[in-house]
């Protein structure tokens, strides 16, 4: 069932070809949906109304996708991989179709939540497939292939959304995914094995999922209120709810996360914080970048979207180039990646308001390059460090925790931007003030990551052959 040859061709050899196509296609539909929405949403609101709920389409999608990724390991254990993946396909299909036929903004928001849960489930199960069907020597390459899909989506999403928005038929942008999802469902049923279900103890973790969902909702909602006191209250309550979800999960028999997922004493816990900060950094850098480019540098919104997409494109390019690295080279890029991200963030802090556009683009690309160098290798090492019996939870927790970082990073950027005056309007002077503060704040996550990457490497060295350590210590 696994391959051992560490080459790109092994991803597309025999049974591996079907697995690779299946998991990359599932992630690809999710990625295109994210990039597509930004360009089509103005047309949706112009047709259906509901401008006051403009950000809710993204907010509800993010919340639901986090809950979906959190459920990935559980769905696999209860239903098996094939049936769990089919559920994800059908739920996401219902969400895309619901968006396409929505007669009212409320229906579209509900459909976005359904779409988010299904796509989150597919992403989590895709990571689980990496852990199950690919030998450790192949995981960096298949994870890099997943990164490549995100780069393709960064190009296709704005084009597809822009074409249908310009034609006056925004619904077509949602219909276009339907045949792809039908194909994905057929492939799922034919390709994935129908293993017997061993079952798990305990009931469905509704309380933990609700705590996690409302925690993320609190983070997202903090960007919708103006008074700083209310923002801080929402962020504080969100942190408590998310902490409660993790605390309850640690005592459960059917856990959503691996053991000690946030402990800096373990490789998995340290990696979790790194994945969280990956998400935080990317969202803080990109959430206001199109507005900054348009308002301060005179760039069109379409061109600004593609400059913003440089992060995804360089992430993809460096992930593909670094996928074949081994041993000492991997150790180097795991530390070099956060360092490049830090250099890019410092550069943005300096040039985002008054600097040349070319330098700004280079800094955005540098952050993506840093992620691309090390993300797949960190993910592969984390999967390899999973305790016996926790492989599925460990794999599916990676996109879950990264999505938490994305949500919290966006909320923190919104909090700082509004406090700096952006809530009063998007005049160039207010955008400049907000950008200055946001991009100063964005330096902190990659700075912390350089320290945590060193910690992660030290812990990995302690568990390497030749060192005495407790087996399965994470």
Q: What is the pLDDT of residue 188?
A: 93
Residue 181: CA count within 13 A, CB half-sphere: 26
Euclidean distance between CA atoms 443 and 367, whole angstroms: 11
**Measured over all CA atoms, what is the biggest interatomic distance in the chain, rounded to whole angstroms?**
65
Q: What is the pLDDT of residue 368?
A: 92
Which residue do the tokens 């560490």 mark? 6
Q: What is the pLDDT of residue 423?
A: 66
DSSP state of 41: H
Q: How crowded is residue 451: how many other Cβ atoms within 10 Å of its Cβ?
A: 10
Euclidean distance between CA atoms 17 and 300, whole angstroms: 40
Look at residues 300, 451, 443, 297 and name the one whose alpha carbon lies nearest to residue 363.
Answer: 443
Q: Are 71 and 111 in contact (CB under 8 A)?
A: no
Give this prediction's pTM.
0.79
Q: What is the pLDDT of residue 269?
A: 93
CATH T-level assignment (fold) for domain 259-463: Growth Hormone; Chain: A; (1.20.1250)
Q: What is the pLDDT of residue 5?
A: 44
Token digits of residue 468 = 């005495």
Euclidean distance between CA atoms 171 and 153, whole angstroms: 19
Token digits of residue 377 = 């290798």
CATH code for the part of the protein at 14-193: 1.20.1250.20
Q: At 132, is the secondary structure helix, strand, or coil?
A: helix
Q: How crowded is residue 59: how many other Cβ atoms within 10 Å of its Cβ?
A: 25
Q: Are 366 and 311 in contact (CB under 8 A)?
A: no
Euclidean distance between CA atoms 194 and 216, whole angstroms: 34
Which residue do the tokens 């990264």 mark? 402
Sign of the torsion formed by the C-alpha atoms of 82, 85, 91 and 92: negative
Q: What is the pLDDT of residue 199?
A: 52
Look at residues 298, 416, 297 and name the one whose alpha carbon lies nearest to residue 359.
Answer: 297
Instruction: Sort residue 49 into left (φ over 0), alpha (ψ -120 to 50) or beta.
Output: left
Q: Are 10 and 110 in contact (CB under 8 A)?
A: no
435-439: which pairs have CB atoms within 8 A and are 24 or more residues apart?
435/288, 435/292, 435/296, 435/352, 435/353, 436/352, 436/353, 438/284, 438/288, 438/413, 439/285, 439/345, 439/348, 439/349, 439/352
Measure CA 17 to chain center.
Answer: 24
The model's pLDDT over 381-408, given as tens digits with 9 standing for 90+, comes to 998 888 888 887 888 788 878 878 877 7
Token digits of residue 304 = 């600004």
Token digits of residue 427 = 């005049």
Q: What is the pLDDT of residue 399?
A: 81
Residue 435: CA count within 13 A, CB half-sphere: 27
Q: How crowded is residue 410: how many other Cβ atoms within 10 Å of its Cβ?
A: 26
DSSP string, 145-176: HHHHHHHHHHHHHHHHHHHHHHHT-THHHHHT
Q: Are 424 and 266 in contact (CB under 8 A)?
A: no
Q: What is the pLDDT of residue 468?
A: 46
For the chain, report the end-to-end CA distance as a whole number of angstroms.
25
Q: What is the pLDDT of residue 274?
A: 96
DSSP state of 199: -
Euclidean distance between CA atoms 198 and 325, whole angstroms: 37
Q: How crowded is residue 170: how many other Cβ atoms within 10 Å of its Cβ?
A: 23
Measure CA 255 to chain center.
Answer: 21
Q: What is the pLDDT of residue 277?
A: 96
Q: What is the pLDDT of residue 290?
A: 75
Residue 313: CA count within 13 A, CB half-sphere: 14
User: Is residue 186 classed exposed, middle or buried when 0-12, 13-18 and 19+ CB atoms within 10 A define those classes?
Assistant: exposed
Which residues in the chain land under pLDDT 70?
Answer: 1-6, 38-39, 51-55, 196-203, 220, 223-224, 226, 301-302, 305, 423, 425, 464-474
Q: What is the pLDDT of residue 370?
A: 95
Dihedral Cα 284, 307, 39, 403, nearest 10 deg: -30
Which residue do the tokens 């999505």 mark? 403
Look at residues 457, 456, 396 and name the one whose alpha carbon lies nearest to residue 131.
Answer: 396
Q: What is the pLDDT of residue 117?
A: 93
Token digits of residue 37 = 């929405």
Residue 110: CA count within 13 A, CB half-sphere: 9
Q: What is the pLDDT of residue 107?
A: 94
Taking the domains of the chain in order of start, what are their residue ranges?
14-193, 206-256, 259-463
Do 14-193 and 259-463 show the same overall fold?
yes
């Amino acid at each position: 069932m696994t391959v051992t040859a560490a080459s790109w061709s092994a991803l597309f050899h025999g049974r591996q070809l079907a697995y690779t196509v299946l998991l990359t296609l599932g992630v690809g539909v999710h990625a295109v949906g994210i990039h597509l929405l930004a360009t089509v949403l103005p047309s949706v609101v112009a047709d259906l109304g509901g401008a006051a709920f403009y950000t809710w389409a993204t907010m509800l999608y993010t919340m639901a996708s986090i809950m979906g990724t959190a459920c990935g390991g559980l769905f696999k254990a209860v239903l098996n991989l094939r049936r769990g993946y089919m559920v994800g396909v059908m739920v996401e299909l219902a969400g895309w179709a619901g968006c396409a036929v929505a007669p009212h903004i409320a229906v579209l928001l509900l459909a976005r939540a359904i779409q988010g849960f299904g796509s989150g489930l597919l992403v989590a199960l895709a990571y689980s497939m990496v852990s199950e069907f690919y030998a450790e020597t192949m995981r960096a390459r298949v994870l890099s292939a997943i990164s490549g899909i995100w780069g393709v989506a960064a190009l296709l999403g704005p084009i597809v959304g822009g074409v249908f928005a310009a034609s006056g038929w925004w619904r077509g942008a949602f219909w276009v995914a339907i045949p792809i999802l039908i194909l994905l469902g057929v492939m799922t049923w034919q390709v994935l094995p129908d293993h017997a279900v061993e079952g798990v103890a305990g009931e469905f973790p509704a309380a933990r999922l609700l705590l996690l969902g409302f925690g993320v909702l609190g983070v997202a909602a903090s960007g919708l209120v103006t008074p700083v006191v209310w923002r801080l209250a929402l962020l504080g309550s969100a942190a408590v709810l998310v902490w409660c979800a993790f605390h309850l999960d640690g005592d459960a028999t059917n856990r959503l996360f691996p053991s000690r997922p946030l402990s800096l004493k373990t490789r998995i816990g340290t990696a979790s914080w790194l994945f969280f900060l990956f998400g935080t950094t990317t969202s803080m850098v990109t959430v206001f970048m199109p507005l900054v480019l348009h308002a301060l540098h005179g760039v069109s919104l379409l061109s600004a979207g593609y400059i913003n997409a440089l992060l995804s494109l360089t992430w993809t390019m460096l992930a593909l180039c670094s996928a074949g690295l081994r041993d000492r080279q991997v150790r180097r890029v795991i530390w070099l990646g956060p360092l490049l991200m830090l250099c890019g963030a410092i550069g943005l802090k300096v040039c985002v308001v008054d600097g040349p556009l070319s330098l700004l683009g280079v800094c955005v690309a540098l952050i993506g390059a840093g992620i691309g160098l090390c993300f797949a290798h960190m993910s592969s090492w984390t999967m390899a460090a999973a305790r016996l019996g926790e492989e599925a939870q460990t794999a599916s927790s990676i996109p879950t925790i990264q999505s938490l970082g994305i949500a919290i990073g966006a909320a923190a950027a919104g909090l700082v931007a509004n406090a700096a005056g952006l809530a009063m309007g998007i005049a160039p002077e207010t955008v400049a003030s907000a950008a200055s503060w946001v991009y100063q704040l964005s330096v902190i996550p990659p700075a912390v990551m350089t320290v945590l990457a060193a910690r992660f490497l030290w812990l990995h060295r302690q568990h390497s052959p030749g060192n005495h350590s407790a087996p399965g210590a994470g």
